[in-house]
């Protein structure tokens, strides 16, 4: 197995899906800067299916939620920043095919490109399989975020809530720093510090991914702030 095949196999393991038609995956990862044959049509399809799957899951998860609450939660989950975070967790960036200009300007890390790629990959999985298989993949990618939701937060995770708490009081935004990663590749534990300058506060959080660790730290910071009434 050559390097290209190894990369493709690693990506498909991360996605939780093995393509019958590998060309669909390649197309989904091809940005328009690379030529006329690109992922824009797959992105269009994927955008619709992601919205549908998330909306359906919220409908069943929150049977007492009002339409407005479900809309806010869905918006938080399918917005570009969140899609890009999921794409980063799946390491889509390193598999993208970009034009020379996008490669040089950091396109592999650009939020809009990553979000579009995730939607395109979703569309590719749908075409390569069926709706149920696509639903299983999308729900697995968003599982942690869906678990963290509660009706009271209406889609706001701890990091978002902390940011809004500080902004509403005219305080500087928090800074997150990765302190270290422990354990083997299949069982890693990330440790993160969350630092606030006003009020002065440093808390730590841990989790099986950097995002989970940051969320844990933000949650602790919010608890401290509410306890101290700051």
On whether 128 is known to bind a ligand per the annotation, the reply is no
The conformational region for residue 157 under phi > 0 = left, psi -120 to 50 = alpha, else beta, is beta
Q: What is the DSSP letter of 172?
A: P
Tens of pLDDT, residues 158-199: 888 898 889 989 999 999 999 999 887 667 889 999 999 988
Residues of the chain with CATH 3.30.160.20: 158-228
Residue 139 bridge partners (DSSP): none
Q: Is the pLDDT of residue 76 over 90?
A: no
Which one is catalytic: 56, 81, 91, 119?
119
pLDDT at 35: 92
Class level of CATH domain 158-228 = alpha beta
What pLDDT, on a 0 to 100 scale, did the predictor assign at position 156?
Answer: 65
Residues of CATH 1.10.1520.10 domain(s) within the chain?
Answer: 3-148
What's the average model confidence in pLDDT over 44-70? 94
End-to-end CA distance of the chain: 58
Active-site residue, 47 included: yes
Which residue out of 47, 102, 128, 214 is catalytically annotated?
A: 47
On whether 119 is known to bind a ligand per the annotation, the reply is yes
Closest by alpha carbon to 192, among 167, 170, 214?
214
Mean pLDDT, all residues of the chain: 90
> What are the helix (H) ranges across the chain?
3-15, 22-28, 40-61, 67-78, 80-89, 100-104, 111-128, 131-141, 143-148, 158-168, 210-228
User: Span 3-148: which CATH code?
Assistant: 1.10.1520.10
Q: Which of 13-17, 150-154, 165-169 has the lowest mean pLDDT?
A: 150-154
Position 141 scores a pLDDT of: 96
The answer on whether 89 is annotated among ligand-binding residues is no
Q: What pLDDT does 221 receive? A: 93
């Amino acid at each position: 197995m050559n390097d290209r095949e190894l990369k493709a196999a690693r990506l498909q393991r991360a996605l939780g899906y093995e393509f019958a038609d590998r060309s669909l995956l390649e197309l989904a990862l091809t940005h328009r800067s690379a030529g006329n044959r690109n992922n824009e049509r797959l992105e269009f399809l994927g955008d619709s299916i992601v919205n549908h799957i998330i909306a359906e899951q919220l409908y069943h998860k929150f049977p007492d939620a009002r339409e407005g609450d479900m809309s806010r939660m869905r918006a938080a989950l399918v917005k570009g920043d969140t899609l890009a975070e999921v794409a980063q967790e799946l390491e889509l960036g390193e598999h993208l095919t970009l034009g020379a200009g996008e490669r040089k300007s950091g396109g592999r890390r650009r939020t809009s490109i990553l979000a579009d790629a995730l939607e395109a990959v979703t569309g590719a999985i749908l075409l390569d399989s069926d709706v149920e298989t696509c639903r299983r993949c999308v729900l697995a990618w968003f599982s942690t975020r869906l678990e963290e939701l509660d009706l009271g937060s209406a889609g706001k995770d701890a990091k978002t809530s902390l940011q809004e708490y500080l902004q509403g009081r005219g305080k500087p935004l928090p800074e997150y720093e990765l302190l270290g990663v422990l354990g083997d590749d299949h069982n890693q534990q990330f440790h993160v510090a969350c630092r606030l300058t006003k009020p002065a506060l440093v808390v730590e959080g841990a989790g099986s991914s950097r995002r989970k660790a940051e969320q844990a730290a933000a949650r602790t910071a919010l608890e401290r702030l509410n306890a101290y009434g700051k």
